[in-house]
Amino acid sequence: MAGISKTVVSLQSGKMGEVSKFIDSQSHLVTELTGAIGFAVAVTGEDEMTIIGVYESTKAAEDASGTVQEIFSDMASFMQSPPNRGVYSGAWFPS
């Protein structure tokens, strides 16, 4: 089964544009991870993003945690609170 990570990020008011640019500049770090298939960023509230990562396995998703934590650490000044990340087993249906 695929590994799927879901991270909900609560942002400080008015920081969405800056965070979007930051994520764009850091996206290569995630796409280059071993076992990474891809990821998506959804705006799920006025000051909230949900980031979904898809990996070959839950182990690959868990192994990505160090890199993910580094990226979120660099985003700390934009956040209202620490991100909430979970890793789950799931299915990925490529087009």
User: Confidence band (pLDDT; 50, 70, 90) for 34?
Assistant: very high
Q: What is the domain-level CATH number for residue 11?
A: 3.30.70.100
pTM above 0.75, yes or no: yes
Instruction: Assess whether pLDDT exceeds 90 at residue 30.
Output: no
What average pLDDT does range 46-64 have in this prediction?
96
For residue 7, is it within any domain? yes
Distances in whole angstroms, Cα of residue 35 to Cα of each of 23, 31, 72, 74: 20, 9, 20, 23
The answer to whether residues 56 and 2 touch, using CB atoms and an 8 Å cutoff, is yes
What pLDDT score does 95 carry?
83
Residue 45 lies in a domain: yes
Number of domains in the chain: 1
Mean pLDDT computed over every residue of the chain? 94
Give the structural domain span for 57: 2-86
Q: Has residue 26 been placed in a domain?
A: yes
